[in-house]
Amino acid sequence: MDRTGPPQSSPLLQQKCKEPTTTTVEKDFNQGQTKKNLTAHPRGCLSVFPNALAAILRGVAQGWKAFANGSLRLWRKGWTAETCSCIFALLSLIGLVLTLMAHQDRPLPDWPQIVSINSIVSLFSMMIRAGVSMVLAEGISQSKWQWFRKARKLDDMAKFDSASRGAWGSVLFIFGLRIKKP
């Protein structure tokens, strides 16, 4: 079995044109098509490069738009946002523990004055609070709709809303809502 190899081809951008030539493409204007003039320059057919680059950028933009729409649809579906928030809080907790373990029983590191172990611990604890508070707020809001499957007072709606918005509302919710077993 003899293989002669691939056919000879020349790269598009290295083709040499002897003199500038202009090709006009005319299409039906009723269908929204436009008239194009393609010019080849004596330095090579580099006029094709901007068109090719524009086509690549359009393809990337369309792909990004499809990815963003799919991600947004997945984010809104189910408990995806809450799961990601819970994972974020867990990773922040792991980072906090690892940072404290790395600096336990050692002198303070020689870092710039604005950065210290306390500021890193504060940053990690803020990220943990943000992740956990989102999960709790969504859980309380979901509990509200479970609570209102039966006819209840609208005053309970305000209690659930305040509980999902902050710590003081949660304290009032715990002591102010009388849960009756069915």
pLDDT one-digit tens code per residue, 84-128: 899 999 999 999 999 999 988 888 888 787 888 888 999 999 999
What was the pLDDT predicted at 95?
Answer: 95
| 64 and 123 in a common domain | no
What was the pLDDT predicted at 143?
Answer: 84
Identify whether 8 is part of a domain.
no
- The whole-angstrom separation of Cα 143 and Cα 163 is 11
Give the other-Cβ count within 10 Å of 85's Cβ.
20
| 45 and 99 in a common domain | no
Task: Please list the alpha-helical segments (H only) found in the chain.
Answer: 48-76, 80-102, 117-147, 155-165, 167-176
Instruction: Check pLDDT > 70 for residue 171.
Output: yes
What was the pLDDT predicted at 24?
Answer: 53
Grouping H, G, I as helix, E, B as strand and the rest as coil, residue 49 is helix
Residues 6+ apart with CB under 8 A from 121: 96, 99, 100
| 162 and 101 in a common domain | yes
Higher pLDDT, 54 or 30: 54
Q: What is the DSSP letter of 113?
A: T
> Once rounded to an integer, what is the mean pLDDT over residues 7-31?
52
Mean pLDDT is lowest, of 68-77, 84-93, 161-170, for: 68-77
Residue that the structure tokens 């002591």 belong to:
175
The CA-atom distances, in angstroms, between 91 and each of 87, 96, 98 are 6, 9, 10
> Once rounded to an integer, what is the mean pLDDT over residues 147-163?
83
| 129 and 164 in a common domain | yes
Average pLDDT taken over every residue of the chain: 75
| 118 and 53 in a common domain | no
| 113 and 55 in a common domain | no
Q: How many CA atoms lie within 13 A of 24 on its CB side?
A: 2
- Look at the chain and report how many structural domains it folds into: 2
Burial class (CB in 10 A: 0-12, 13-18, 19+), 123: middle
Closest-CA residue to 160 (of 174, 151, 48, 114)? 174
- Tell me the residue range of the domain where 40 lies: 17-24+33-72
What was the pLDDT predicted at 110?
Answer: 82
Identify whether 93 is part of a domain.
yes
Identify whether 2 is part of a domain.
no
| 96 and 132 in a common domain | yes
| 88 and 52 in a common domain | no
| Residue 21 token pair | 């030539």
Burial class (CB in 10 A: 0-12, 13-18, 19+), 18: exposed
- The whole-angstrom separation of Cα 156 and Cα 24 is 72
